[in-house]
């Protein structure tokens, strides 16, 4: 009986898998993919040359900011930078409160991180910036949970700079490399 149920489960899984997974190997690698990979490669190379660390936020910013055309890239890059600034300043505030010694360290980290997310989301909503919740939360968590040592403010400001670098690189790559979709419209 157990083997029959197991076989039915496997058949159901295979049937379910066939219905849901459709792989299309005829797709070509598009310009946006090439531009994104180029942006990330430039960011990593630049960060190695400058000895700035991993460049995680800069790479994420480059991927997030690179859109179909330059004007959309500017909008997304600007949103990423503004969201990052909000997240970093909220994280700096929460970290300064956490390290003040009011609560035991474990409670301050858990409670402070959660309260900071609530504060950040409500701040975005208060100023009609709900579209910035994701980039702001990502930057907030990177700073809160990152290895900032005793220099919370310097660490946070460097993460903002990383985001600006990533956004500017993707904007430059999007501007310099061709956009076949725009050429078709002429």
pLDDT digits (tens, 9 = 90+) for 119-142: 999 999 999 999 999 999 999 999
**DSSP per-residue codes, the chain:** -HHHHHHHHHHHHHHHHHHH----TTPPPPHHHHHHHHHHHHHHHHHHHHT----HHHHHHHHHH--SSHHHHHHHHHHHHHHHHHHHHHHHHHHHHHTTTSS-HHHHHHHHHHHHHHHHHHHHHHTT-GGGHHHHHHHHHHHHHS--TT-HHHHHHHHHHHHHHHHHHHHHHHHHS--HHHHHT-
pLDDT at 12: 47
pLDDT at 5: 47
Lowest mean pLDDT among 80-84, 109-113, 158-162: 109-113
pLDDT at 68: 80
Average pLDDT over residues 111-119: 92
Indicate if the pLDDT at residue 4 is higher than 60.
Answer: no
> What average pLDDT does the structure give for the chain?
83
């Amino acid at each position: 009986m157990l083997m029959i149920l197991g076989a039915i489960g496997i058949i159901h899984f295979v049937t379910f898998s066939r219905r849901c997974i459709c792989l299309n190997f005829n797709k070509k690698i598009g310009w946006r993919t090439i531009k994104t990979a180029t942006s990330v490669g430039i960011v990593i190379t630049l960060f190695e040359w400058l000895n700035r660390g991993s460049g995680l936020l800069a790479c994420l910013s480059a991927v997030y900011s690179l859109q179909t055309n330059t004007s959309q890239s500017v909008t997304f890059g600007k949103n990423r930078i503004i969201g990052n600034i909000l997240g970093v300043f909220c994280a700096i505030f929460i970290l300064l409160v956490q390290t003040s010694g009011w609560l035991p360290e474990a409670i301050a980290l858990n409670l402070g991180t959660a309260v900071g997310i609530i504060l950040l989301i409500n701040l975005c909503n208060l100023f009609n910036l709900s579209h910035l919740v994701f980039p702001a939360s990502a930057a907030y968590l990177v700073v809160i949970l990152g290895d900032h040592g005793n220099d919370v403010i310097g660490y946070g400001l460097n993460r903002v700079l990383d985001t600006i670098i990533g956004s500017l690189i993707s904007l430059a790559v999007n501007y310099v490399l061709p956009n076949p979709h725009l050429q078709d419209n002429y």
